[in-house]
Amino acid sequence: MFDKILIANRGEIALRILRACKELGIATVAVHSTADADAMHVRLSDESVCIGPPASKDSYLNVPALLAACEITGADAVHPGYGFLSENARFAEILGEHNLHFIGPKAEHIRLMGDKIEAKKTAKKLGIPVVPGSDGAVGPDDDAMAIAKKIGFPVLVKSAAGGGGRGMKVARSEADLEEAVSTARAEALAAFGNDAGYMEKYLGKPRHIEIQIVGDGAGNAVHLGERDCSLQRRHQKVWEEANSPALNVDQRMKIGQVCADAMKKLKYRGAGTIEFLYENGEFYFIEMNTRLQVEHPITEAITGIDLVHEQIRVASGGGLSVTQDEIHFHGHAIECRINAEDARTFVPSPGTITHFHAPGGLGVRIDSGVYQGYKIPPYYDSLIGKLIVHGRTRVECMMRLRRALDEFVVDGIKTTLPLFQDLVDNQDIANGDYDIHWLENYLASKPA
């Protein structure tokens, strides 16, 4: 096991990792920008190091500063959390070159799954079902129309180098294709410095289902069920559930085992998530995230397994703490991402929190690094916390969520709490009857 872990992140995920380290008796080092000097994870860590000014490129993405912090403090491992350097293969290699452990997958797997075209090819080889599409990148010299006709309209043109909705355009007919391809390439080049794109069948009303896996890097892997992340705005997840209201036990176990078997073949190490579009009883691979997900707590809620503990165990050379037959699913869990944003316009709302009261009680968990008097900086992601509720049934879970939302108080800034108070009382949500387009259609129907 490691002696000291440097947490190369900020906010709620840095605090989440710190808590896991403390439970395992591992010393912690918090790094922070000047804007985060008063952050909760900095206050609670054993040591802290300032690594630069507010801009991420000068602090949380500053690899030399992170290496220096490891050397100064004697940290022997780095946990990247999510975002920032968590899926940077070169960062993982650099740590290894300095005799430091990266708490995450092998660099080769980060690189492989970071390229969406290669990831899709690999998934197909591993027996994971994929969306019908182009065999590789669709270049300027390729006959995009011939490829699209073979797939069948509508088609989706996607960036090979990134996500978040950038470099992604739908062509519903032959007349739309040329503009969709050129626009997607331009957006991808501007956002990711790479205009490579690929084409796949566009699904009309799919759900977004993801399978949580953990591997030990030596050929052992397990799945921990699925999460339904279909409630999205601009391809950003807003509300997540485990298990999905759309799947039955047989479907869950079948696709879960397919993913676990694939990760065994790959000899994948650490936590990862295989994401699918699901429509008409069929799963279609879209990408794999080689890191911890924001929504991992709902999987922890229904399985009782600490995913950060597992990450640390396997990165240090230990095996998985559980076998597949020891993993059982209990009840239902929902996570709401609370952002410092206007609940209607989604304009960011940085500022000082003048009053903060977190809900509590049975089955309620808050993952947040904020507190009364904390100043939300304007430089980073607007996520200020996650409300996770768990119940024996989905109905009980929804009842608990409604109560917890009523208790949750954040004053001084605008938050998305009112949005969730609306959603929890919506009949479609209560019935679990929604897809990846539902939330944007709902928001568009609301009066200004």
In the set 291, 313, 337, 365, the catalytic residue is 291
Give the tokens for residue 74: 């004697």
Quick check: helix, strand or coil at residue 351? Answer: strand
Position 18, amino acid: L
* Calpha distance 172→162 (Å, rounded): 22
- In this structure, what DSSP letter does residue 271 have? E
* Calpha distance 412→196 (Å, rounded): 44
* Calpha distance 36→41 (Å, rounded): 9
Helices 89-97 and 107-114: angle between axes, nearest 10 degrees = 170
Give the tokens for residue 220: 């052992």
Contact status, residue 334 vs residue 363, Cβ threshold 8 Å: no
Quick check: helix, strand or coil at residue 274? Answer: strand
Estimate the share of the chain in helix, then strand, then coil, as percent rounded to the nearest 5.
35, 25, 35
Structure-token match 């953990």, residue found: 214
Quick check: helix, strand or coil at residue 168? Answer: strand
CA distances from 234 to 114, 220, 246, 443 (A): 21, 36, 22, 11
172 among known catalytic residues: no
Quick check: helix, strand or coil at residue 53? Answer: coil
Q: Please identify every residue annotated as catalytic.
A: 291
